Chain A
């Protein structure tokens, strides 16, 4: 049938406008999608500023022989040293308020009490030991010169920005696609829409288009902010970065579509959304590397779409990897996209 309508009167345009209006007229949605990742970046960037590893506070057990003398020898350096009685020492050591407890022993001996899984305790043990040994007359046979290197790209903020971008794509993809669908089904709007001659593909594509529009805004805002405020590097191609974001956003959008394919209530949908997202929040390397999980879990961890997206983003931004180098990650994301999309189409209910 010849169609002489203006482009603005086409279903795809009107359906996309509906999504956009619903999104931008909901201040909370804009906050969570755009501002939240930026606030997280700011907070984490400030909290984990690059600074020298610190020894933390150490204590000498007051009831031990020579306690005050040992404390005086340590205080001559920049260390924060306290002298504590037995109960205070035990309490503060347990609470982590002191990193290391020094218990001088009779004769030229000393005992260190500390938790070797705590980085500041390990540093404290080394620093305190060096000070005590040197002040007791140890001489080091090898002379040492230190050259310090602090480069953008190896800081925590550089690590965490791609992770937060991936997390943001996941959240807005699943939530931003799933929530409006379930809400429309609950309101019987979906049913009303299919009672018209609306092309169903138009409905689907309006979801895809609005997803891309929101992606450009959320990813753009976060990356520009990270670049300008924290100097986070972009070592790979921006086209490649855009492609990873696009593929990730579509895959997470398809996951949202799948999660929302049947749910009739917002409560039920929320449960499914959290169920699908929590494993990725924990394991997909947002705040710390996913390689920290035991080898047994790795096949599962590596197969998660957010792990692949985060790894690809980091490889692109921090290492300048080409698309060929991140092909395995892109393959995993594409597989999720295809699987979720077709599963959602098969399961989808309009009423």
Chain B
């Protein structure tokens, strides 16, 4: 097995005059769970569909498990080694769960036994139920089951939990954890930073078709130089200067959002008392105070100046 499950060099794809992927470079190691994190429209889906051999790139070199897609992108030998879940596939409503999986099993020479697949995605009870009757989470687990049928080496999962309730998301996460435990490589796209932080060994932050940050979630967060974010609000019509705030012990950066201040700090236990002292010395009323550990969301905001969810 080649050491690199996915290698992308100089990838470019434009739709008419919209550049979806702009000179993107990526390497995914065999056996890791790799996340493409970015807002909607960042080029995640285009990138993953080029990897899946469903979209023809304009430029660039893409190697999947050491192979290139042919000009007609059929390559059944390579397809047998991939497990794919697309964004928003609707399986036929009139078929049962069991029938749908039998259909997908028939495409592979050595598929997994049906019972095992059903057990893995916890759909055993729904085997004879129509797909049209399933809940959103169950449908998404069926989509993952279709990716699992041939026990592939490499999974491409495009937004597997978008639009699901928290419990269904956790079920999907457990499923993906299981695949990771089995030593398979997983490439996942998401615009949920908590999902990337929890599941991924490494994350590429993608914006406007480019990788703007790359590393383990911890590395990316550490790159902020600040482990904590202190969010506070003071009485109206009071403007605090950046210089004053940055002079506080441990403060690294200051941002403002909707009238609140976001102070990134390396040591919250020193910065918070300093902030309180600073405010009381000026007799300013503190209206709101909160701290949280820095997340990938903060990394994205730091890199782009925008929030992930409203980018």
- A residues lining the B interface (CB < 8 Å): 1, 3, 5, 9-11, 13-15, 17-18, 21-22, 25-26, 184, 187-189, 191-192, 194-200, 351
Contacts and interface: CB of A to CB of B under 8 A. Distances in A.
A191 B49 CA distance: 10
A351 B109 contact: no
A14 B102 contact: yes
Given A21-B95, A26-B94, A188-B90, A195 B52 contact: yes
A189 B92 contact: yes
Interface stretch (B78-86, B226-234, B235-243): B78-86
Contacts of A13: 106
Contact of A192 (B76, B77, B105, B146): B146
B86 A14 contact: no
A26 B84 CA distance: 29
Interface string B47-91: 000001110000000000000000000101101101010111111
A195 B106 contact: no
B103 A194 contact: no
B177 interface: no
Contact of B91 (A10, A189, A197): A189
B99 interface: yes
Interface of B: 52-54, 74, 76-77, 79-80, 82, 84, 86-92, 94-95, 99, 102-109, 111, 146
B105 A191 contact: no
B105 A15 contact: no
Given A18-B103, A196-B107, A188 B88 contact: yes
Given A3-B109, A14-B103, A195-B52, A22 B84 contact: no
B187 to A, nearest CB: 14
Given A18-B92, A21-B99, A192-B146, 18 more contacts: A9-B105, A9-B106, A10-B106, A13-B106, A14-B103, A14-B105, A17-B99, A21-B92, A188-B86, A189-B91, A196-B107, A196-B108, A197-B76, A197-B79, A197-B107, A197-B108, A198-B107, A200-B74
Closest 9 CB pairs of A and B: A187-B90, A197-B76, A14-B106, A197-B79, A25-B94, A196-B107, A198-B107, A192-B89, A195-B84
A192 B109 contact: no
Contacts of B87: 188
B86 A15 contact: no
A195 B90 CA distance: 14
B54 A195 contact: yes
A286 B45 CA distance: 50
A171 B109 CA distance: 37
A3 B80 CA distance: 14
Contact of B95 (A18, A188, A191): A18
B103 A189 contact: no
B89 A196 contact: no
Contacts of B103: 14-15, 17-18
Most buried by A among B74, B84, B90: B90
A191 B53 CA distance: 11
Contact of B54 (A1, A9, A25, A194): A194
Contacts of A184: 92
B248 to A, nearest CB: 52
A22 to B, nearest CB: 5
Nearest to A195: B84
27 contacts: A9-B105, A9-B106, A13-B106, A14-B103, A14-B105, A15-B103, A17-B99, A18-B103, A21-B92, A21-B95, A22-B92, A22-B94, A184-B92, A187-B90, A187-B91, A187-B92, A188-B87, A188-B89, A189-B89, A192-B86, A195-B79, A195-B82, A195-B86, A196-B84, A196-B104, A197-B79, A198-B107
B56 to A, nearest CB: 11
Contacts of B52: 195
Contacts of B102: 9, 14
A351 B54 contact: yes
Contacts of A199: 76
A191 B76 CA distance: 15
B95 A22 contact: yes
A340 B95 CA distance: 30
Contacts of B54: 191, 194-195, 351
B37 to A, nearest CB: 23
A184 B82 CA distance: 22
A268 to B, nearest CB: 18
Nearest to A187: B90
A349 to B, nearest CB: 12
Contacts of B89: 187-189, 191-192
Contacts of A10: 106
Contacts of B86: 188, 191-192, 195
Nearest to A190: B89
A59 to B, nearest CB: 60
Contacts of A200: 74
B95 A5 contact: no
B104 A189 contact: no
A21 to B, nearest CB: 6
Contacts of B79: 195-197
Contacts of B74: 200
